[in-house]
């Protein structure tokens, strides 16, 4: 790396944030897939804690798709959020991780919407906890997400459809 590049990085450099994305008491050490199955088959409404766990694990799985069935640590998920936050500036979290940084930049807008946990959790929970009578719709659930981005709201629709015991589910993201 040239001296100019190194000095430019030092100007932009921001140290990693030292806290976790969720408080450890809120985090559940389960996989994203386990959380989805649990809440899809339960008639109990999802809590904010349940929703936040799905959102942070979904964020991680969006970057690392093979991780959806694996129990990922809170530290690894928090590091992923930290890397995303620092995608445009110099950070030791992204040194030597050019492909990861490019992924974050490529999907930056959609991931920024997902990473806004307060807003995403409110919308996700509102959709996932909807009570719908499947008989009125002949047990056919048709969902649409216009401006799907990461697809997180499609997941909320799927959880809602499964909770409400629809037999046939079709969800389209645009």
pTM of the predicted structure, to 2 decimals:
0.88
| Whole-Å CA distances, 61 to 2, 25, 55, 130, 139 | 35, 21, 10, 25, 30
Q: At what angle do helices 74-85 and 108-115 cross, to 10 degrees?
A: 130
Which pLDDT score, from 0 to 100, does residue 93 have? Answer: 79
* C-alpha 153 chain-centroid distance: 10
Average predicted confidence (pLDDT) for the chain: 91
- The angle at the Cα of 99, spanning 23 to 156, to the nearest 5 degrees, equals 45
Radius of gyration of the chain (CA): 18
Report residue 15's pLDDT band, with 50, 70 and 90 as the boundaries: low
Give the pLDDT of residue 113.
93
Map tokens 């994203």 to a residue: 32
Q: Is 142 helix (H, G, I), strand (E, B) or coil?
A: strand
Per-residue confidence (pLDDT) for residue 16, from 0 to 100? 64
Beta bridge partners of 173: 145
**How far is residue 52's CA from residue 45's CA, in Å, rounded to a whole number?**
14
Closest CA to 61 of 87, 21, 33: 33
pLDDT digits (tens, 9 = 90+) for 140-161: 999 999 988 999 999 999 999 9
Residue 54 CA to residue 77 CA, distance in Å, equals 12
Q: Tell me the average pLDDT across 16-31.
A: 90
pLDDT, tens digit (0-9, with 9 covering 90-100), for 94-142? 788 889 888 988 999 999 999 999 999 999 999 999 999 999 999 999 9
Contact 150, 113 (CB under 8 A): yes
Cα–Cα distance for residue pair 167/174, rounded to 1 Å: 23
Residue 90's pLDDT is 65
């Amino acid at each position: 790396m040239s001296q100019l590049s190194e000095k430019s990085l030092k100007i932009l450099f921001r140290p990693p944030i030292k806290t976790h994305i969720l408080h450890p008491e809120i985090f559940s050490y389960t996989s994203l897939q386990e959380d989805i199955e649990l809440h899809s088959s339960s008639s109990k409404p999802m809590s904010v804690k349940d929703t936040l766990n799905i959102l942070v694990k979904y964020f991680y799985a969006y970057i690392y798709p093979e991780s959806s069935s694996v129990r990922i640590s809170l530290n690894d998920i928090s590091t992923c959020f930290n890397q995303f936050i620092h995608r445009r500036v110099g950070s030791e979290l992204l040194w030597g991780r050019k492909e990861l940084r490019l992924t974050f930049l490529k999907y930056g807008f959609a991931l920024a919407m997902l990473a806004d946990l307060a807003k995403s959790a409110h919308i996700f929970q509102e959709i996932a906890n909807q009570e719908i009578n499947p008989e009125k719709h002949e047990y056919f659930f048709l969902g649409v997400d216009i401006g799907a981005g990461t697809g997180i709201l499609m997941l909320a629709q799927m959880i809602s459809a499964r909770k409400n015991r629809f037999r046939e589910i079709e969800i389209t993201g645009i």
